[in-house]
A and B are shown apart, each in its own frame.
Chain A
Amino acid sequence: MADLIPVRLDDVAFGYDPSKRILEKVNLTVRPGQIVALMGGSGCGKTTILRLIGGTVPASAGTVSVFGEDVGVMNADALRRMRSRVGMLFQFGALFTDLSVFDNVAFPLRECTNLGERMIRDLVLMKLQAVGLRGASTLMPHQLSGGMARRVALARGIALDPRLMLFDEPFTGLDPISLATIGRLVRELNDALGASSIIVTHDVQESLQIVDYLYFIAGGRVVAEGTPDGVRASEQPFVRQFVRGEIEGVVPFHQQAADYRSELLAGAR
């Protein structure tokens, strides 16, 4: 199983509304043990790719395969089995607000396994120890800072020892210390579990430090890809603009609109 390609997207297209496609044609591959970053401007469909991989939305065209199986043709049972091998970290953690930190991490163990309560307790404490928050096990989610919540969610994501981790903007809204902590944890846990990971992010600098491969997505397609070193050296206009954070470039500053002058004059009339 370790040799199976964890994630592979072939010519995947998707749109909630058939007339308006978010993804036109996406091809990407995640190899075992790799951490892959998906980058692109806000709203370019990065999170949608994670949903396609998780099977919560079906692809309009093309195939999404996870561990060599086509997600599109899975029945409910196969989908459940696939999901139990996939851990996902949501943008703001998505901790269950009515459960304590301990119960949050225990949640997937209680719901998806038949382990005894003592076993679950030991496992939860181990996972919390891995993210350095064993001391916070009795707190409720609203008592946690953003970074801590993200770490608890990470502990919850790895509770079932997944073979594939999906991270949806794990660095958003964090202070530099928390950001570095999460980044390091992502790398460490990925290697310790022998898993593969996909990180959806727009934090270029942090991801260049920890990932093995990057895909740039714009206009519903993969416009550039490469290793961190390759990306740093790339002279491709989009990658340059994105990595350096330039305002004007191939991605325009202005939303497409009617002629400025004539629109203003039309208002004055």
Chain B
Amino acid sequence: MPVASPPPKPDVPGPVRARVEGLGEWALLKLERLGFAARFFLAILRFSGLGIRRFGLVMREIHFAGVLSLVIIGVSGLFVGMVLGLQGYETLVRYGSAEALGTLVALSLVRELGPVVSALLFASRAGSAMTAEIGLMKATEQLAAMEMMAVEPLARVVAPRFWGGVISMPLLAAIFSACGILGGYLIGVVTIGLDAGAYWSQMQAAVDFRDDVLNGVIKSFVFGVAVTWIAVFEGYDAAPTAEGVSRATTRTVVTSALVILALDVLLTALMFRGT
């Protein structure tokens, strides 16, 4: 019986092939952008000298990224701590270990919620503003004007913003955690009436300085680098139009959120495995 040979395939791009090609193109584009972002990161580091020599430039950005985020970070931290206090108490009291509330609140905040939530807030408060600012400076030719005045925009505009964000982030995360612990105290001790001594001593027994607090600080530092890097890159790379800037701002918030959460998984796995 003769085997029916399949008809010869036409060499025109079918829908599948077109889709695969489109996918490949998309991947290449993303890869190229990532490469550009990495090059940009190195350029920021190379042009950081001016910001160090004239620290006033970085101070301005710490003011912008840090001081102006203080209220939202502090208040959010307080609320998150209060919610942790309420929910934690509800759960712990079933197992008769309500006095472990301090431990629960402090560990959740110092290890996870402090760095992560403050980084998310930071990305949407300061990161998006950084992107919009740099994007608009590009759209209105301020960056080009700077370049024409023999001033390197990376050194004068981008690097100080980057360092301002990187310095602010760990401090903001610490403030967030501290406010959260106070929020948990307000709910657990002041409202519910747990013993204040138990709240603090249980916390101190369980929270380790190096493993918990320092790791939390390292986390927030990494998040700070990631978020400000994304923010200044998106701003610098934005299409110089109103639409381009608004897209870049959105991208900053979305990418930052994803990167923060992904990095958090990675860092948590590295730091707290087996403990």
How far is it, in angstroms, between the C-alpha of A97 and the C-alpha of B141 when the chains are bound?
11
Q: List 19 A-B contacts (CB under 8 A).
A: A84-B149, A84-B150, A88-B149, A90-B145, A91-B141, A92-B141, A94-B141, A94-B144, A96-B137, A96-B146, A97-B136, A97-B137, A108-B149, A108-B150, A111-B149, A111-B151, A112-B150, A153-B145, A166-B148
Question: Can you list, as one digit per residue, whether each of B129-157 has a CB less than 8 Å from chain A (1) or not (0)?
Answer: 00001001100111011111111000010
List the 4 closest A-B pairs by CB distance, nearest first.
Answer: A94-B141, A94-B145, A83-B150, A88-B148
Partner of A92, one of B140, B147, B148: B140
A80 at interface, CB cutoff 8 A: yes
Q: Report A197-227 residues with CB < 8 Å from chain B CB.
A: none
Partner of B144, one of A81, A90, A112: A90
Taking A96-B145, A111-B151 as given, write out 7 further A-B residue pairs in contact, using a Cβ cutoff of 8 Å, ordered by the A residue number.
Answer: A86-B148, A88-B145, A90-B145, A94-B140, A98-B133, A107-B149, A108-B150
| Number of CB contacts from chain A to chain B under 8 A | 54
How far is it, in angstroms, between the C-alpha of A90 and the C-alpha of B156 when the chains are bound?
19
Q: Report B93-145 residues with CB < 8 Å from chain A CB.
A: 133, 136-137, 140-142, 144-145
A129 at interface, CB cutoff 8 A: no
A residues in contact with B136, CB < 8 Å: 97
Q: Are B148 and A95 in contact (CB under 8 A)?
A: no
Q: Determine the interface band of chain A, counting residues with CB < 8 A from chain B.
A: 20 to 34
How far is it, in angstroms, between the C-alpha of A72 and the C-alpha of B155 when the chains are bound?
23
Q: Interface residue count for B (Cβ, 8 Å)?
A: 15
A residues in contact with B150, CB < 8 Å: 79-81, 83-84, 108, 111-112
Q: How far is the CB of A115 from chain B (nearest CB, A)?
A: 15
How far is it, in angstroms, between the C-alpha of A183 and the C-alpha of B232 when the chains are bound?
38
Query: Do A83 and B141 contact each other (CB < 8 Å), given the known contacts A97-B136, A111-B156?
Result: no
A residues in contact with B145, CB < 8 Å: 88, 90, 94, 96, 153
- Give the one of A84, A94, A107, A166 with max B CB within 10 A: A94
B residues in contact with A172, CB < 8 Å: none
Q: Are B148 and A112 in contact (CB under 8 A)?
A: no
Q: How far is the CB of A89 from chain B (nearest CB, A)?
A: 9
How far is it, in angstroms, between the C-alpha of A267 and the C-alpha of B85 when the chains are bound?
66
